[in-house]
Structure 1
Amino acid sequence: MTAQQAVDALGVDDAQGVDDALADFQGHLNLIFARARTLWKESAARVHPELQPSGYKLLAYVARTGDANAHQLAELFGIDKSMVSRQIRMLEDFGLVESRPDERDGRLRVLTATSEAQRTLATLRAENAGRMRAVLAELTPDEVRAASKAFRLLAEI
């Protein structure tokens, strides 16, 4: 996107306006990230009192996708493999994931969320979705789609 296209897309008349709008946007992203960290910490504690936020994120991903292995998780989350291994051991010890040998590569272990973990995560997702719906109720569907597009593009950076 050219600078002029950015100006046009943001609906401002000059480059300074674009810079101001982007600074405002970045400030709000920082607040969203801070809130997300708080929610991960609170959610982790609700799943298990000793679960760390990083373990919660791994568990939520495994539950959402159906299964995963440690290598995939380390790569996806940009976490050192030894940290992923420690988190997986904790998730297993807490009864939140089960592992089995990978059918294609016996050296790998495939993780799946236990039914207890699935139930707890479903409750948390429903509560979070309700809060999100309430907050976004003032937006039109087109505005929600535009925000979603912005977040998708940012995730690709």
Structure 2
Amino acid sequence: MADTDLALSVDRFMRRIHSALQARAAEFDTENVGPAGGMLLLTLAEMGQPEIHELTARFARDKSQMTRVIGMLETKGLVTKRPSQRDQRASVVLLTPKGHRVVAELSTALAEAIETLVAPLNTDERQVLKTLMARIA
């Protein structure tokens, strides 16, 4: 049976992260990518050069939704598309140098937001949390 208390705790933590980022968005979201664009940029930094269908599966979105977000990021010069070497009918999406800079800004803002939330934890507790997060992520 699912652990509802755990689910609600994780949800509360995620909402607190989201709220902390939203409150500071004007400071770091200089390209106005918003939450969807930010998540896609961070995911591209993690995945490398995924095909669009891999991104739609990762985000549980349909192709048209993903294409819109990718198009917005492409217009801003943060990502580019090119044909997949594996399947010429498919496109891969990759970060541009400007996109990498924005990812660095987003990563810093995310780290600062989470730092505030985990401030009550001591060094050992933080290490346990980090280990557990790495295991489930």
Q: Give the TM-score normalised by the residue count of structure 1.
A: 0.66
The letter of the residue matching 1:147 is: L
How many residues are treated as equivalent by the alignment? Answer: 132
Say whether 1:83 aligns with 2:65: yes
> Counterparts of 1:52 and 1:132 in 2: how far apart (Å)?
18
Structure 1 position 48, deviation (Å): 1.8
Q: Which has the higher contact order (CA 8 A, sep 6+)?
A: 2
Shift of 1:144: 3.0
Unmatched runs of 5 consecutive residues or more in structure 2: none
The verdict on how the C-alpha distance between 1:30 and 1:132 changes in structure 2, with shifts beyond 3 A counting, is closer
Percent identity reads 29
Q: Please provide the CA RMSD for this pair.
A: 3.0
Q: Is 2:35 the partner of 1:60?
A: no
Unpaired runs of 5+ residues, structure 1, are 4-18
Contact 2:44 2:95 (C-alpha < 8 Å) held by counterparts: yes
- 1:153 is displaced (CA, Å) by 6.8
Alpha carbons 1:102, 1:108 under 8 Å: kept: yes
AA at the equivalent of 1:33: M
Separation in structure 1 between the aligned mates of residue 131 and residue 35 of structure 2, nearest angstrom: 26
Partners of 2:18 and 2:38 in 1: CA distance: 11
Aligned to 2:12: 31
The 2-side partners of 1:130 and 1:36 are apart by 10
Residue 67 of structure 1 contacts residue 112 of structure 1 at CA under 8 Å; is this kept in 2?
Answer: yes
Task: State the alpha-carbon separation in 1 of the partners of residues 104 and 129 from structure 2.
Answer: 24
Encode CA deviations 1:70-113: one digit per residue, 9 max, x unaligned.
10011111111210111111111111101111111101111111
Aligned AA for 2:122? L
CA shift in 2, pair 1:127/1:52, >3 Å:
closer
2:54 maps to 1:72 = yes
Higher Cα radius of gyration: 1
Contact residue 17 and residue 113 of structure 2 kept, 8 A: no
